[in-house]
A and B are shown apart, each in its own frame.
Chain A
Amino acid sequence: MDLEFSAEDEEYRQRLRAWLKENVGGGGDSPNAVMKQAEEDPEAAKDPLAGARAWPRRLHDAGYVGLAWPKEYGGQDASFTQQVICGEEMAKVRTPPLINTIGLSIIGPTLVQHGTEEQKKRFLPRILRADDLWCQGFSEPEAGSDLASLRCRAELDGDEFVVNGQKVWTSLAFLSDWMFLLVRTDPDAPKREGISYLLLDMKSPGIEVRPLRNAAGGQHFSEVFFDNVRIPKKNLVGELNKGWSIARSSLDHERSGLSGVVALEETLGRLFRMAGKVDRGQQKSVEDQSARRALAQHWIAIEGLRHLGYRTLSDQIAGKPPGAGSSVGKLFASELRQEMTRTAMDLQGPFAPIAKRSPHVVDRGRWHAAYFDALAHSIGGGTSEIMRNVIAEKVLGLPRAQED
């Protein structure tokens, strides 16, 4: 048993660290500076997202995105350990968020696995360079956890599908160039056998995107309506009516849990520091025993998640199937994030209600945002209840809850 990375992997880590040091934070070269430059470039005036695209492009030029993808489509063919190292190191220096995350983490890997040669050549390099931004059109008003009951219809008309219906909670739909979506192509088949997986150009006529305001007050997801929207047949992923199993694999393409651990640890560090500033009676919050125990429990849970990640990685390296790791990790991490932000709200004591931009607010109001964000984590990408169903059925082998 060991937690050592090979000399080659350590070298990779050092190279990446050096690159990040040059390119994140310090100097005029930082991603923020790059984004700004791009925004100010007169050529880019046409694209309001030029700034946001600049950072992923820079990462791509240096070979730090698309790690798991084949080289021929612009990927790196990197090992599992290198993927983990990359996730860890980037999280450690808090690289800016990637505007093309949905493309990189969901549809890209799906196309690598299931796409036609033409689809791979056409889409993958553009995802890597953030030329195309993607959104995920799975959920519908009547189909959330029970995704397979989706109703959005597509009918073949010659060489084209004609789509009618609605999607909802579509993150970043209003920014996206493309959507990957699930549609019902055979209404008479059993519900999992009549679904197809399509790729839709968001500039097609007949699409209406209505942004929704979320509970935190921001704009993140939208409703999307389709009125006789036409999609060429070549944009079908996999076979007709066989989209469900591909969708399942999309749901499994999650980022390595280990980069999430770094983020949680950073949050705990901030929480600990905040607790050292806020008063609780005659002492600071961090001196209060129940607060100390809560913080210690978070530390323990994060170490548990980190070492679970090492076990999963070791299995991957040894070529074993990913086992319980991914659903356990997702459930545990999202619940832990909620517990931590709840502690953060509690430890602020009388300062907890104070809104952002108000003069007395603690840590510039970051905890309110983190609190709301954490609450969404146990809903998006499969709710915690659904994760428990999966664990009960797939890991514990308990009988299915519902007949369908």
Chain B
Amino acid sequence: MDFNLSEEQEALQDMARDFLSERWPRERVREQLDARPALVDDDVWQEIVEMGWLGVAASEEAGGIGGDIMTAAVLCREAGRGVLPGPFQSSLVAAIALERSGDKELVSGLLSELIEGKTRVSVAIDESAGLYGGASVAAHASESSSGWLLSGSKFLVPDANEADVLLVAAQTPDGPGLVRVSTEAEGVTINRMDRMDGQSCAEVVFENAPVEGSALVGGKDRGASLLHDVYDIATVLLAADLLGSAEASLELTRLYAIEREQFGKPIGSFQAVSHRLANTLVDVEIGISLLYGACLALDEGRDNAGPLVSGAKAWLSDAAVDAAETALQIHGGVGFTWEYDVHLHMRRSRCNAALQGDADHHRDRVAAYMSEDWVPQIKS
């Protein structure tokens, strides 16, 4: 029984936190909101690549460091805390998808290039109809004389403008899965979208875009389970990002409540303030616990990983937005200024809360699990 981060994970966490607070000042985040899209500056990106962050959950053969989902989540939590924009998280998810394809050529080819920062790959799952993940996507590839033709459209695809390759969730003649498509391919249109937090994303429309049958990542055998897993992994990493935002909002507000005085006392001595922060802390602690539980369940390949992932996403979507709104209220007037960081966390958590399924979507997923598989602990 050891349900805490390992020493290596803690060291990685500290290192990432220090790196981001030094190399990614909040001033840059603010500037990028005025000069969209928000993307990591090239020199910082280069350092991130050199530190091996993109290969954190990839095998050593591919140039990665062989960590697990929990380790990837450690970095995403810091990215959330440090308001680090794309294409970090999208690249990380794509790397995990490629790693798990079991396809040696992809691993030694595309994945190595991704990890070395030579090729940018992103994953396109969400659709505008609110269909997420798994088998529910509507995009589809159909058989043609020369291979497959991909049709449909994807929504809020992270960093699609900057990507060279997309892994697109679609129904295919070989079942649901992720289809590898070049962003340069014929029949692919990328329409830039603007996120409230400045991050880069796009609508991607496929009109009979030709792809090879071999483009189904993981092939016929693993395609469907890979899509299922990647959706859960992308969702849990988003939950980790939300946790980082929630913690950042709480910490900002905690410090402010100690320092700011009114009526001759620090505002943190007023219970209307301190109790709201205590509630936020409880939500954060429960959120950490759910995140760890979900990551471990994924890493151990347990059956109940899905509902735990959804639990973490639902909980942290609510908690991070709540923490940000609490931060704004408790900062008073300055909380509503451009110069204070409060709105940066608010924007990011508001976006992430809605991506890959909002809290209600994930509660519905938990409810479905409860009806189908959950064995209530009743002894009559």
Residues of chain A at the chain B interface (Cβ within 8 Å): 1-5, 25, 81, 92-94, 262, 265-266, 268-270, 272-273, 286, 289, 292-293, 295-297, 299-301, 303-308, 310-311, 313-315, 317-318, 324, 328, 331-332, 385, 387-389, 391-393, 395-401
Q: Could you list 14 A-B pairs, sorted by A, with CB under 8 Å?
A: A1-B6, A268-B377, A273-B376, A289-B364, A293-B364, A296-B314, A301-B315, A304-B289, A313-B1, A317-B2, A318-B2, A393-B274, A398-B268, A399-B258
CA distance A307 to B289 in the complex (A): 5
CA distance A296 to B269 in the complex (A): 36
Since A1-B3, A273-B378 are in contact, a sample of 19 more A-B pairs with Cβ atoms closer than 8 Å, ordered by chain A residue number, is A2-B2, A266-B377, A269-B377, A272-B374, A292-B367, A297-B363, A300-B314, A300-B363, A301-B286, A303-B290, A305-B286, A306-B289, A308-B289, A311-B288, A313-B1, A328-B282, A389-B275, A392-B271, A401-B274
Q: Which residue of A lies closest to B288 (CB)?
A: A311
Report yes or no: B268 in contact with A399, Cβ–Cβ below 8 A: yes
Interface centre among B9, B371, B377 (most CB of A within 10 A): B377
Interface string of B114-129 (1 = CB under 8 A from A): 0000000000000000
- Which chain B residues lie closer than 8 Å to A81 at the CB level? 1
Report yes or no: B311 in contact with A3, Cβ–Cβ below 8 A: no
Q: Which residue of A304, A385, A391 contacts B287 across the interface (Cβ within 8 Å)? A: A304
Report yes or no: B366 in contact with A299, Cβ–Cβ below 8 A: yes
Residues of chain B at the chain A interface (Cβ within 8 Å): 1-6, 9, 70, 254, 257-258, 265-266, 268-271, 274-275, 277-279, 281-282, 285-290, 292-293, 296, 299, 307-308, 311, 314-315, 360, 363-364, 366-367, 370-371, 374, 376-379
Report yes or no: B277 in contact with A300, Cβ–Cβ below 8 A: no
- Which chain B residues lie closer than 8 Å to A2 at the CB level? 1-3, 296
Interface centre among A81, A305, A314, A328 (most CB of B within 10 A): A328
CA distance A81 to B3 in the complex (A): 13
- Which chain A residues lie closer than 8 Å to B285 at the CB level? 308, 324, 328
Interface centre among A295, A308, A397 (most CB of B within 10 A): A308
Report yes or no: B254 in contact with A304, Cβ–Cβ below 8 A: no
Q: Which residue of A lies closest to B307 (CB)?
A: A299
Given contacts A1-B296, A2-B1, A317-B1, whether A395 and B281 have CB atoms under 8 Å apart is: yes
Q: Which residue of B lies closest to A289 (CB)?
A: B364
- Which chain A residues lie closer than 8 Å to B5 at the CB level? 1
Q: Is the interface of A mostly helix, strand, loop or mixed?
A: helix
Q: Which residue of B lies closest to A272 (CB)?
A: B376
Report yes or no: A397 in contact with B366, Cβ–Cβ below 8 A: no
Report yes or no: B281 in contact with A266, Cβ–Cβ below 8 A: no
Report yes or no: B1 in contact with A314, Cβ–Cβ below 8 A: yes
10 closest A-B pairs by CB = A269-B376, A307-B289, A304-B286, A392-B274, A398-B268, A296-B366, A292-B367, A300-B311, A310-B3, A388-B278
CA distance A300 to B293 in the complex (A): 11
CA distance A289 to B258 in the complex (A): 42
Given contacts A266-B379, A313-B3, A400-B269, whether A392 and B275 have CB atoms under 8 Å apart is: yes
CA distance A397 to B279 in the complex (A): 14
Closest Cβ of chain A to B295, distance in Å, is 8
Report yes or no: A1 in contact with B271, Cβ–Cβ below 8 A: no
- Which chain B residues lie closer than 8 Å to A389 at the CB level? 271, 274-275, 278
Interface centre among A4, A273, A299 (most CB of B within 10 A): A299
CA distance A166 to B6 in the complex (A): 52
CA distance A5 to B274 in the complex (A): 38
Report yes or no: B4 in contact with A311, Cβ–Cβ below 8 A: yes
Report yes or no: A388 in contact with B274, Cβ–Cβ below 8 A: yes
- Which chain B residues lie closer than 8 Å to A314 at the CB level? 1-4
CA distance A339 to B270 in the complex (A): 26
- Which chain B residues lie closer than 8 Å to A94 at the CB level? 379
Given contacts A1-B2, A392-B274, whether A292 and B268 have CB atoms under 8 Å apart is: no
Report yes or no: B377 in contact with A324, Cβ–Cβ below 8 A: no
Report yes or no: A270 in contact with B290, Cβ–Cβ below 8 A: no
Given contacts A292-B367, A293-B364, A296-B364, whether A307 and B1 have CB atoms under 8 Å apart is: no
CA distance A270 to B377 in the complex (A): 8
Q: Which residue of A266, A286, A303, A396 contacts B274 across the interface (Cβ within 8 Å)? A: A396
Closest Cβ of chain B to A393, distance in Å, is 8
Report yes or no: B364 in contact with A292, Cβ–Cβ below 8 A: yes
CA distance A308 to B292 in the complex (A): 10
- Which chain B residues lie closer than 8 Å to A401 at the CB level? 269-271, 274
Q: Which residue of B257, B279, B360, B377 contacts A262 across the interface (Cβ within 8 Å)? A: B377
- Which chain B residues lie closer than 8 Å to A273 at the CB level? 376, 378
- Which chain B residues lie closer than 8 Å to A396 at the CB level? 254, 268, 274, 277-278, 281
Given contacts A1-B2, A3-B3, A296-B366, whether A391 and B374 have CB atoms under 8 Å apart is: no
Q: Which residue of B2, B292, B367 contacts A296 across the interface (Cβ within 8 Å)? A: B367
- Which chain A residues lie closer than 8 Å to B288 at the CB level? 311
Closest Cβ of chain B to A312, distance in Å, is 9
CA distance A396 to B257 in the complex (A): 10
- Which chain B residues lie closer than 8 Å to A268 at the CB level? 376-377
Q: Which residue of A lies closest to B289 (CB)?
A: A307
